[in-house]
Amino acid sequence: MDSSHIESLPPTAASPEAIPRASSYRGVLGRQGFAWLLAAQALAVFDDNTFKQLLFFFAVATVSNSATRSEIISWGTALYVLPYILFSSYAGQVADRFSKRRVIISLKLVEASVLTLATFAMFLGQIHAMLAALFLLGIHAAFLDPAKEGILPQIFPEAGLSRANGLMQLTIYSMIVLGPVAAGVLTDVFPSRRYVPVALLVGMALVGLGCAVGIARVEAIGADEKFRWNPVREFLRDWGEIRASRPLFHAVLAIAYFWFLGAVYLQNVLGYGHDLLHLSDAGISGLMAAVSVGIGLGAFMAGKLSGSRVELRLVPIGAVGLGVFGVFLYFAYASFWAAWAGHFLLGFSGGIFIIPLQAFLQARAGEHSKGRVIAASNVLTFTGVVLGAVVFGVLTGPLHMAANQILLVMSLTAFAAVAYLIIFLTPSAC
């Protein structure tokens, strides 16, 4: 079976004037309130990534024991991701029971409050309090995700979803790159007053609050739904809704696979740069930036290529790229620029892969359960991230694989994913 069996989804029936407004990136940006949504979520991503890096810089500067330093960094990474697994069921219910605009505005207030606490923690030099603040920011992010993604189908007809997602991912990965860079610059500017950069993030959160007020007003889609406090039972209920739609089920699995693969690839950058290319920390950061910028630009291109459709035919093309450029990097370690280009193209392929899947999830989730379905998908997604960390540990630990060998192994899984996508992810099964 070839990729021609994977068909694109036609636009949904929207009002005649809605389609032209979503038929180009200019039209998408001109949609009422969307530019404010982009700005609000971009500032949230920037604040989170900047504070996390400021915390790590503080640990490097103040903790002399290298093992303790590594433990703090590992805990910081885990504490930020863990809320997606623990609280996504609640986050999805909140996103459906209340207006998503109200949820986003409320969460911007929470963000500013948490960063205020983080400022005092940094001022006092209490690293455990900083870790607690990072965990709270992770909870904030877990609740923000289904609200900011679930609001897109309420703002756009299906014809605009791919481009809207492309712009959203472009801004997200731009902030993922800019956040750590800003942390480094601010740490150099305020070497003896490390709390000042965190205080500046409070101001950024308040700017984000102002942006959130401009988001288009939308109705609550599940206001009459009973709030369910058992997260396991709620996840199983939402998972059952996903399983009821075969294409939606396979799309959610593909999204989780992307994040699993990304977790391995991103952890592998450090070893690839240090052990094979013998780069400094700045050079390794350059490789990481190449991946992030690549994903953002790939997402932008996926939105452009999708046009007014949810273009699932792009997904196996992206998977092919994830495999091909992984193999390329197996051989590319003799040259920094070849390795940089390979990491960029790996990220670009990832952007092509993920955008149609996200748009499909948003379009095909139940009309009154989009937040809950997106949240259930997030549970699986971040379980994939944790699994990726475990697999990476096994490949580097007991199996003693070099960084380029790990890329080769993961590339084989990407080629297997191509066959899976072509066979199972068929919109005609809807």
pLDDT in tens, 145-192: 989 988 888 888 877 888 888 888 889 888 887 888 888 888 888 888
Residue of 256 and 8 predicted with greater confidence: 256
Residue of 422 and 125 predicted with greater confidence: 125
Distances (CA, A) of 93 to 153, 251, 337, 351, 372: 17, 21, 46, 28, 6
Dihedral over Cα of 8, 13, 16, 22: its sign: negative
- Alpha helices for 365-402 (secondary structure H): 370-396
Residue limits of CATH 1.20.1250.20 in the chain: 20-218, 228-430
- Residue 429 φ/ψ region, left for φ over 0, alpha for ψ in the -120 to 50 degree band, beta for the rest: alpha
Q: Highest-confidence range of 135-139, 177-181, 366-370, 398-402, by mean pLDDT? A: 135-139
Q: How confident is the model over 398-408, as a mean pLDDT?
A: 91
Q: What homologous superfamily does CATH list for 20-218?
A: MFS general substrate transporter like domains (1.20.1250.20)
How many CB atoms within 10 Å of residue 204?
18
Q: How confident is the model over 352-357, as a mean pLDDT?
A: 90
Q: How confident is the model over 204-216, as a mean pLDDT?
A: 95
Q: What homologous superfamily does CATH list for 228-430?
A: MFS general substrate transporter like domains (1.20.1250.20)
CA–CA gap between residue 425 and residue 10 (Å, rounded): 16
CA–CA gap between residue 401 and residue 342 (Å, rounded): 20
Distances (CA, A) of 346 to 200, 288, 320, 407: 34, 11, 10, 11
Q: How long a stretch of residues is the chain?
A: 430
pLDDT at 426: 53
CB 159 within 8 A of CB 22: yes
How many CB atoms within 10 Å of residue 246?
14
Q: Please give the share of the chain, as a percent, with pLDDT higher than 70.
A: 91
